[in-house]
Amino acid sequence: MTAELGIPTVPPQRTIDLGNGIAFSKAGHHFTIPEGADLDALAQTLTAPLSVILQVTKRCELDCDFCSETLQKPDASLAQFDTIRRNLDGVGRVFLSGGEPMQRRDLGDIVDLFHRDFIVTVPTNAIRAELHAKNLVGKVASCNVGLEGPRAITSRVRGDYDKIMNGIRHLQDTGIPIDLSCVVYRSTQSAIPYLMQIADMLGAGKVKLIMPLRKGNALNLKEHEFLSNTEARELFDRVGGLRTDMGWTPALRLTAWTDETEGHMIVIEPDGKAQAWPVYDQPDLFLELGNVLTEPVSTIWERYPYKHNHLRKYLGKSIWTAANAGDSTHA
Ligand code: SF4
């Protein structure tokens, strides 16, 4: 109608301005910063992390071969999440994670608590998406679904491929954008091109390849299953080349475990305990930072020794990325 009247339509807002030159791309589900920005100066300026992972439960119906979850802890109440929400003031994005977040029947209420103050993303196995999708749409930036490839591979290492794909369809039918996350090891890497094809057909924003960490179930993987960082790089280059040749549209990124990515995540457990992750010389790979049930995240940020790695990772400087022009993809 406006076009017929010759009135230019206002394009939908594609970025969210977070201050300090940082923006969040709603199309690519990633943070951006002007080229050449001084990240060390930025680390001193910021009073809170760009992104945190908040575990809304430790429970999960799957038992993936590579799952790093070890500790069981009781779920937090909505009132406790409200306290955590206040103490996270200044954070850009909150991953409402698990365990499996859709195990919580009140996930929609938790999203309602957080989505006005933060960009919210939900990492999930999608098996219970039918129950939750209608309560998430319009509130979460994306759901990040774990998938290792076609039916035989995903069902072997993660769980029921058909249930996961059914969940993805529910998310998409409801209008929730999806990304795919894939834990890669030697006996599953041949499935990655098929995963890219699936992601392309689904219209996923990106495919995130992640190397397993030696923790939890992954301690039972045979040593030869772990790719070296050189092998991971070769895999990334191979799949990136195929992506170009085949015209697959999802962005591709890979996170390997190096000095640059150590401690870059801040994981908050259901009891409020905030920890840097993964810290390679720590038991359980966690370095304790504080507790967001009892103190503001700004205090935790002050004592966080991995600010530089955090910013580099979430601003896309320490991961390998392949994306279409104008759609560079970050964490
Ligand atoms: S990796 Fe995720 S989906 Fe798999 S068992 Fe662990 S928490 Fe559940």
Q: Which domains does the chain have, with CATH numbers?
A: 15-322 (3.20.20.70)
3-state helix, strand, coil in the chain (%, to 5): 35, 20, 45
Q: 55 CB less than 6 Å from ligand 1?
A: no
Side-chain half-sphere of 21: how many Cα atoms within 13 Å? 14
Q: If you measure from the C-alpha of residue 123 to the centroid of ligand 1, how many angstroms do you get, rounded to a whole number? A: 10
Q: Tell me how far the alpha carbon of residue 99 lies from the centroid of ligand 1, in angstroms.
A: 6
Answer yes or no: is the C-beta of 100 below 6 A from any ligand 1 atom.
yes
Phi, psi of 19 (to 5 degrees): 85, 170
Cα(88) to centroid(ligand 1), Å: 25
64 Cβ below 6 A of ligand 1: yes
Q: What is the pLDDT of residue 307?
A: 95
Q: Mean pLDDT, to the nearest integer, of 84-113?
A: 97
pLDDT, average across residues 149-161:
96
State the pLDDT at residue 304: 97
Q: Give residue-wise pLDDT tens across range 48-72.
A: 999 999 999 999 999 999 999 887 8
- Where are the alpha helices (H) located in the chain, listed in sequence order? 39-45, 78-87, 107-114, 129-136, 151-157, 161-174, 192-202, 229-246, 297-302, 307-314
Please give the distance, rounded to the nearest whole angstrom, from the Cα atom of residue 14 to the centre of ligand 1: 31
Q: What letters, b where the CB count within 10 A reaches 16 and e where it falls short, cover 192-203? A: bbebbbbbbebe
Give bridge partners of residue 265 from the DSSP assignment.
277
For residue 321, what pLDDT band results from cuts at 50, 70 and 90? confident
The atom of ligand 1 lying closest to the CA of 146 is 3
How many angstroms separate the CA atoms of 65 and 87, rounded?
A: 35
The more confident residue out of 8 and 236 is 236
Contact between 97 and 55 under an 8 Å Cβ cutoff? The reply is: yes
What's the pLDDT score for residue 36? 79
Q: How far apart are CA 295 and CA 228, in angstroms?
A: 39
pLDDT score recorded for residue 41: 86
Tokens found for residue 193: 């091109």
Residue 8: is its pLDDT beyond 90?
no
**Is the shortest distance between the CB of 65 and ligand 1 below 6 Å?**
no
Residue 80 has pLDDT above 60, yes or no: yes
pLDDT at 286: 96
Contact 309, 260 (CB under 8 A): yes
The verdict on the CB of residue 63 being under 6 Å from ligand 1 is yes
